[in-house]
Chain A
Amino acid sequence: MPELAKAAKQTRAWACYDCGKCTATCPIARAGGAYSPRRHVLATNLGQPSVIGDNGTLFNCLTCSLCDRRCPAQVNYTELVRKLRELSYREGVEPECPHGGALQSVMRMMATGGTEQRRMDWLGADLKTEPKKGEVFYWTGCTMYYDAFFPDLKVTTLEGTRAAVRLMNTAGVTPVVSAEERCCGHDLLWNGDRKNFELLAKHNVKLVADSGAKMLVTSCAECLRTWKIDYEPFFEGTPPQIIHITEFLAQQWTEFSFKTTNSRRRVTFQDPCRLGRHLGIYDSPRQVLAALPGVEHVEMRRSGPAAMCCAGGTWSNCDRFAKQIQVERLREARATGAEVLVTACPKCQIHFRCAMKDPKLGGEIEIEMRDVAELVAGALK
Chain B
Amino acid sequence: MTSKNLSPKRQRGVTSPPSWEPSIVVFACNWCSYAGADTAGVSRIQHQPHFRMIRVMCSGRIQPGFVLRAFEKGADGVLVSGCHFGDCHYIFGNERAVEQFEKTKNVVKLLGLEEGRLRLEWISAAEGARFAEVINEFTDQVRKLGPSKLSARKLSAISYQLSAISQRVRRS
Contact = CB atoms under 8 A, between A and B. Distances in A.
Given A115-B150, A148-B106, A149-B103, A110 B111 contact: yes
B150 A114 contact: yes
Contacts, number: 70
Contacts of B152: 112
Given A99-B65, A100-B64, A117 B112 contact: yes
B103 A151 contact: yes
A115 B109 CA distance: 11
A99 B150 contact: no
Contacts of B98: none
B68 A109 contact: yes
The 7 lowest CB-CB distance pairs between A and B, nearest first, are A100-B65, A115-B112, A148-B106, A102-B65, A105-B68, A114-B149, A102-B64
A108 interface: yes
B169 interface: no
A106 B112 contact: no
Contact of A115 (B68, B69, B103, B113): B113
Given A105-B71, A148-B107, A152-B99, 19 more contacts: A99-B63, A99-B64, A100-B65, A102-B68, A102-B69, A106-B111, A112-B152, A114-B149, A114-B150, A114-B151, A115-B112, A115-B149, A115-B150, A117-B110, A118-B109, A145-B107, A149-B64, A149-B107, A151-B106
B113 to A, nearest CB: 6
Contacts of B99: 152
Given A99-B64, A99-B65, A109 B110 contact: no
26 contacts: A97-B65, A99-B64, A100-B63, A100-B65, A100-B66, A100-B69, A102-B63, A102-B68, A102-B69, A105-B68, A105-B69, A106-B68, A109-B68, A110-B111, A112-B152, A113-B150, A114-B151, A115-B111, A115-B112, A116-B112, A118-B109, A144-B110, A148-B106, A149-B103, A149-B106, A151-B103
Nearest to A116: B112
Contacts of A378: none
Interface of A: 97, 99-102, 105-106, 108-110, 112-119, 144-145, 148-149, 151-152
Interface in B47-63: 63
Contacts of A110: 111
B107 to A, nearest CB: 6
A117 B150 CA distance: 11
Contacts of A116: 112
Contacts of B69: 100-102, 105
A152 B63 CA distance: 14
A102 B110 CA distance: 14
B65 A105 contact: yes
Nearest to A114: B149
B114 to A, nearest CB: 9
A106 B107 contact: yes
A119 B111 CA distance: 8
B150 A102 contact: no
A90 B112 CA distance: 30
Nearest to B73: A105
B72 interface: yes
Nearest to A179: B112
Interface string B62-87: 01111011011000000000000000
B68 A148 contact: no
A113 B102 CA distance: 23
B65 A109 contact: no
A100 B102 CA distance: 16
B10 to A, nearest CB: 22
Contacts of B151: 114
Q: Which residue of A110, A117, A148, A149 has the most chain B CB atoms within 10 A of its CB atom?
A: A148
Q: Which residue of A100, A101, A109 has the most chain B CB atoms within 10 A of its CB atom?
A: A109
Contacts of A108: 72
Contacts of B107: 102, 106, 145, 148-149
